[in-house]
Structure 1
Amino acid sequence: MSTKVNGTNQYKLTYQVGVAENKNSKFRKAMEDVHTYVKNFASRLDWGYFAVFDGHAGSQASKWCGSHLHTIVEQMLLEDENSDVRDILNRSFVLSDEQINSKLPGNSGCTAAVGILRWELPSDSANQVSDLSQHRRKLYTANVGDSRIVLFRKGHSIRLTYDHKASDILEMQRVEHAGGLIMKSRVNGMLAVTRSLGDKFFDGLVVGNPFTTSVEITPEDEFLILACDGLWDVIDDQEACEIIRDIKDPNEAAKTLVRYALENGTTDNVTAMVVHL
């Protein structure tokens, strides 16, 4: 499922977005992945918002995030433009987690991987400077769970997210300190991810605080891959970048990744978003 939001686009964007998805009907009865992208995010020229969500125990949480998370992030950004975007992403994720748990029926949850691309002035520049050549592109990311964002720079993949899995020693310790148990690499023997949005049945153990990053985008950066674990279960970061590095059309690149995942035995829904920079 996709949620596509288009802003006013009178000028050519400096980035291109391609998306592909597949329910993988051989193994899955329902599609619980959702993706969202917003052109000219926050009504700012050439900003972008990109996100993938992988639902579990139903699609309610992932659909909610696909429809609402970008609005929450935008409101917080506009209310406090001097805050670190990473802090705004953290607060947005925590608020979304609370709203899903209080408003939605059932116990669904979802992983999330979100990127915000925007133009900024260097911190040592005067605010009134209007010379566009001084602006720099910055990418901010946030994730919970095992959906992943990978940047391809100078022939090398750079993972910008952190896989919050119950097999991770740091996450195991956090869950156990909060009173939970890790059994068979699952929280209380049931959930494989240790951070998500929703999952109120695991409230206090599975949290919505994301891992966040900030990176300046340079001419050496070629593209981003945002994808759910249906892709990453069967391919590593570098190989995923290698197989699409020469594909100029981001839609075709995304389709290539989804096709690869299906042909190589993934048992999950598959969603891949490619952002050419």
Structure 2
Amino acid sequence: MVAGPEVMNQVLPMLESSFHRCPVKGVDEVVVVGAAVSPPPTVASPKAESLVDLIEVPDLELKTSSQTLNFVPNIRSGSFADIGPRRYMEDEHIRIDDLSGHLGSLLLCPAPNAFYGVFDGHGGSDAAAYMKRHAMRLFFEDSEFPNAIEEDDFFSESVENAIRKGFLSADLALADDSVISRSSGTTALTALIFGRQLLVANAGDCRAVLCRKGIAVEMSCDHRPTYDAEHQRVTDCGGYIEDGYLNGVLSVTRALGDWDMKMPQGSPSPLIAEPEFRQTILSEDDEFLIIGCDGIWDVMTSQHAVTLVRKGLRRHDDPDRCARELAMEAKRLQTFDNLTVIVICFTSELSGCLLPSEQAPSRRIRSCKSLSAEALCNLRRLLESDQ
């Protein structure tokens, strides 16, 4: 549990096949350093959200250019968590830059591969802590995660099904665990990279934002009662929105746990754990991904965050430091929540990915006037007289 702006980075040993020995208390992240159809992603504007529809959205469809086919992500990441103005820390996160190295023979997946997760708890930290402790088992063992050496449509579909199963299994497990309060819940966002594929799954109001040539491309949708599609789904299931809260209680419409608000298993419920997916093929235009809890996004736009991280990487090329700077910016903007953010870079160097306005001004070269014929003659005489 984080008790201030300082964050611990602890590298864990290889998990055993049971996946049940990953500690919860005293560890801020799992780090292994190494190498429902949704609407199309939107580009966040640094101005009002109403302007989003006026901006052309970068193409997230499968790209087959030679640049894309030859691109291989060079994955490195950094993270930071802070309690913020809250009395208790209820966020948890997972950061694994080398997934196959972490899981060993249990995973056969196109390389490079990586896995990240942010879990924003509410009603206590129990549900988020449970997800941190059991995520690897739920997503990669119990879900029967597929094995393949190369990317193809069948493998991508199988991966999506496995992640969906992991979300739903986690939700049921929270209901069955007698130690966890039925009023405890957590939002969940995961980002999985295999080869050039990026797959984001989200249930709740955490957010993933891709930086594509300096432009913020949202890779998730905030599941809040104010989102029209979620509002309609809630009312269709017999729920209601009161003062912007689901059934007058919860600020999100999708979450794991919260079984005091959910219908019996098998019945339609206004609050669900079903994740939404967004997927893209990474290219050399894709610089980094930010995933963070709503404490970040409550006070800044996606484009603001991308611009801040991009400038930070230009200055010091340190994703850990960028994550901290982003959290500190949210605190400066007076966020009222816990703060957790992960910055995942896809290239080893970002110095060549600058906007024209960010380029350093070129030095002016001073011109030197030429000497006249008379001056040259006088200079020659002076030099000859000294010999």
Question: The TM-score by the shorter chain falls in which range?
Answer: 0.7 to 0.9
* Pairs within 5 Å for 1:69-108: 69-75=135-141, 76-78=143-145, 82=155, 83-103=157-177, 104-106=179-181, 107-108=183-184
Partner of 2:97: 39
Partner of 1:227: 292
Contact kept in structure 2, 1:77 and 1:85, CA below 8 Å: no
Specify the code of the residue in structure 1 equivalent to 2:90.
E
Partner of 2:30: 4
Partner of 2:190: 114
Structure 2 counterpart of 1:188, from 247, 264, 276: 247
2:133 equivalent to 1:57: no
Contact kept in structure 2, 1:223 and 1:274, CA below 8 Å: yes
What is the Cα deviation at residue 80 of structure 1?
A: 6.5
For residues 204-228 of structure 1, give each alpha carbon's deviation from its aligned partner in whole angstroms, at most 9, with x where no partner exists. 2210001101111111110000000
Partner of 1:141: 200
Asked which structure has the greater RCO (Cα within 8 Å, sep 6+), the reply is 1
Identity of aligned residues (%): 31
Work out the CA distance in 2 between the residues paired with 1:263 and 1:99.
38
What is the Cα deviation at residue 101 of structure 1?
A: 1.6
For residues 155-190 of structure 1, give each alpha carbon's deviation from its aligned partner in whole angstroms, at most 9, with x where no partner exists. 111000011001122211211221212111111100
* Pairs within 5 Å for 1:123-272: 137-203=196-262, 204-246=269-311, 247=313, 248-272=317-341
Further displaced range: 230-239 or 179-188: 179-188
Work out the CA distance in 2 between the residues paired with 1:78 and 1:49.
13
What is the Cα deviation at residue 5 of structure 1?
A: 4.3
Partner of 1:131: none
What is the Cα deviation at residue 46 of structure 1?
A: 3.0
Work out the CA distance in 2 between the residues paired with 1:3 and 1:255.
14
Work out the CA distance in 2 between the residues paired with 1:215 and 1:15.
16
Work out the CA distance in 2 between the residues paired with 1:79 and 1:269.
35
Distance 1:117 1:162, change over 3 A: same
Work out the CA distance in 2 between the residues paired with 1:189 and 1:37.
34
Specify the code of the residue in structure 2 equivalent to 1:98.
L
Secondary structure at the aligned position of 2:211 is classed as strand
Secondary structure at the aligned position of 2:138 is classed as helix
Contact kept in structure 2, 1:46 and 1:118, CA below 8 Å: yes
Contact kept in structure 2, 1:49 and 1:70, CA below 8 Å: no
Work out the CA distance in 1 between the residues paired with 2:145 and 2:200.
18
Partner of 2:78: 18
Contact kept in structure 1, 2:80 and 2:324, CA below 8 Å: yes
Work out the CA distance in 2 between the residues paired with 1:116 and 1:269.
24
Specify the code of the residue in structure 1 equivalent to 2:319.
P
Specify the code of the residue in structure 2 equivalent to 1:39.
D
Work out the CA distance in 2 between the residues paired with 1:70 and 1:159.
25
Work out the CA distance in 2 between the residues paired with 1:6 and 1:115.
15
Partner of 2:383: none
Contact kept in structure 2, 1:86 and 1:141, CA below 8 Å: no
Work out the CA distance in 2 between the residues paired with 1:223 and 1:159.
12
Structure 2: any 5+ residue segments left out of the alignment?
Answer: 2-27, 36-72, 149-154, 263-268, 347-387
> What is the CA RMSD across the aligned residues, in angstroms?
1.7
Q: Higher strand share goes to which structure?
A: 1
Mark the structure with the bigger radius of gyration.
2
Work out the CA distance in 1 between the residues paired with 2:145 and 2:173.
20
User: What's the TM-score once normalised by structure 2's chain length?
Assistant: 0.63
